[in-house]
């Protein structure tokens, strides 16, 4: 186990480029099972969750070649096992994304119940209902999901929630199904769009990309190709928050500004302004963080929702920014009932936060945080705690940093290049 030793209060400066979208990389890697031909993936983030997914594919019979930094070639030729390694599958939530490709490729799949962040109940009902609609038979036990399908057939379906991973599983199962599939209430996040564009580049026929209604014309086969994964908009939002709370000027390169409309709107409620320069985003230094109250001086609310609304994965970052903005704001987390529990660590560091219930927190900002010894409970809270340590007074220790490594590639090295002082060391 490792930990970070972080010196807070330093100004940062320079440019940083976000990695590839983690939540696009995982389904895209899984989708490589849909063809015998080799596929080259570029801008693949070198993070723990992706490494585990690549290991799982190798265990199934795929060949994974690392051509250069963040570039791999995956070939899934010949016999592919429908049984992912349970010990690896339990390490990541993304292992559930193997269900659709394996059903389409092998006609069966045995998926161990997946792991991932402990941020509350994360139901898979929508996955199973979508796959059943396409013709799969599924037996659920305490440890696994056992699936089979003699053939998958296109179906008109309505997802009972706009689940990102359930939409992705349905897409991957449907591209090789017989006939047309129409998915209503589909998720439309940037990572879902990336998966659709990737599959279309291999010969799939998916219409309605970026909308909540996807029409998929089943094809007989897919071919190989090359694809570059888009920048991670969650990582972009994290760097904007980092610049804001450390009062630093940062240039975020290849930031995909068209993915940041809702994020920008919520940041402006806290007084954070950004400048769009082509494909890049600049965060000016020395911004005055001050809550902008709603009409009638009402306390504003920052809440999450399905795309194109504010992404749930950035609420942890917004909480840190809110602690540094003069004024009061409510954070409303609608999706996961345990995600806000990390705020107790911020309170230890001097933040003024009232956790009203598992989904709502009132933050009275403007208090300078002080250093603390804290532990990262999940990917997004871990990054938020790193931001808190970087803007706090004194030296902080962050334990359990493998959670941060799951979502952010070489984050200590990259931030140190901007002037941060983060030491990675063994945790006794």
Would the CATH topology of 2-12+288-426 be identical to that of 22-217+224-228? yes
> What does the pLDDT look like over 311-325, one tens digit per residue?
999 999 999 999 999
pLDDT for position 335: 81
Q: How many CA atoms lie within 13 A of 376 on its CB side?
A: 30
Cβ distance 152 to 177 under 8 Å? yes
CA dihedral over 176, 177, 180, 184, signed as positive or negative: negative
**Token digits for 258?**
């068209």
Residue 399 CA to residue 237 CA, distance in Å, equals: 23
Residues paired with 124 in a beta bridge? none
Tokens of 324: 């540094």
**CA separation for the pair 137, 271 (Å, rounded):** 52
The percent of residues above 90 in pLDDT, for the chain, comes to: 93
Class of domain 2-12+288-426: alpha beta
CA distance linking residue 406 with residue 383, whole number of Å: 11
DSSP code, position 143:
S
The share of the chain scoring above pLDDT 70, in percent, equals 98
Copy the structure tokens of residue 363.
């933050």
Out of 3.40.50.300, 1.50.10.100, 3.65.10.10, 3.30.390.30, which CATH number does the structure's domain 22-217+224-228 have? Answer: 3.65.10.10
User: What element of type H or E holds 249?
Assistant: strand 249-252
Our separate counts of H helices and E strands in the chain read 14, 23
What average pLDDT does the structure give for the chain?
95
Strand partners, 360: 332, 357
Q: Give the active site residues.
A: 117
Report the C-alpha dihedral over residues 246, 252, 256, 261, rounded to 10 degrees.
Answer: 30
Domain definitions of the chain by residue range: 2-12+288-426, 22-217+224-228
pLDDT digits (tens, 9 = 90+) for 111-157: 998 865 444 445 789 999 999 999 999 999 988 999 999 999 999 99
């Amino acid at each position: 186990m490792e930990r970070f030793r972080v010196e807070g209060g330093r100004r940062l400066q320079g440019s940083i480029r976000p990695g590839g979208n983690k939540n696009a990389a995982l389904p895209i890697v899984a989708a490589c099972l849909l063809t015998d031909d080799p596929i080259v993936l570029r801008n693949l983030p070198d993070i723990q969750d992706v490494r585990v997914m690549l290991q799982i594919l190798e265990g199934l019979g795929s060949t994974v070649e690392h051509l250069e930094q963040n570039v791999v070639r995956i070939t899934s030729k010949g016999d592919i096992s429908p049984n992912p390694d349970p010990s690896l599958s339990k390490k990541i939530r993304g292992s559930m994304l193997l269900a659709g490709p394996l059903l389409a490729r092998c006609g069966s799949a045995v998926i161990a119940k997946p792991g991932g962040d402990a941020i509350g109940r994360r139901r898979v009902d929508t996955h199973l209902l979508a796959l059943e609609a396409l013709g799969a038979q599924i037996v659920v036990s305490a440890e696994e999901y056992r699936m089979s399908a003699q053939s998958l057939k296109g179906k008109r379906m309505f997802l009972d929630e706009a689940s990102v991973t359930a939409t992705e599983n349905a897409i991957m199962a449907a591209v090789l199904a017989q006939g047309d599939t129409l998915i209503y209430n589909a998720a439309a996040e940037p990572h879902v769009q990336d998966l659709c564009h990737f599959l279309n580049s291999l010969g799939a026929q998916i219409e309605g990309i970026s909308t909540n209604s996807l029409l998929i014309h089943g094809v007989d086969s897919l071919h190989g190709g090359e694809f570059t994964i888009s920048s991670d908009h969650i990582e972009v939002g994290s760097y904007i928050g980092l610049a804001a709370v450390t009062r630093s000027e940062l240039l975020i390169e290849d930031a995909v500004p068209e993915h940041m409309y809702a994020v920008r709107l919520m940041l402006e409620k806290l007084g954070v302004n950004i400048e769009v320069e082509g494909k890049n985003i600049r965060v000016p230094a020395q911004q005055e963080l001050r809550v902008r109250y709603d009409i009638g001086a009402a306390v504003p609310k920052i809440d999450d929702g399905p795309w194109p609304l504010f992404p749930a994965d950035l609420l942890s970052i917004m909480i840190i920014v809110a602690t540094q903005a003069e004024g009061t704001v409510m954070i409303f987390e609608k999706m996961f009932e345990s995600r806000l529990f990390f705020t107790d660590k911020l309170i230890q560091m001097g933040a003024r936060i009232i956790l009203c219930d598992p989904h709502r927190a009132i933050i009275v900002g403007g208090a300078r945080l002080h250093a603390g010894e804290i532990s990262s409970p999940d990917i997004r809270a871990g990054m938020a705690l790193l931001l808190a340590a970087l803007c706090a007074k004194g030296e902080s220790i962050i334990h359990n940093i493998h959670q941060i490594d799951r979502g952010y590639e070489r984050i200590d090295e990259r931030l140190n290049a901007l002037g941060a002082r983060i030491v990675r060391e063994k945790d006794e």
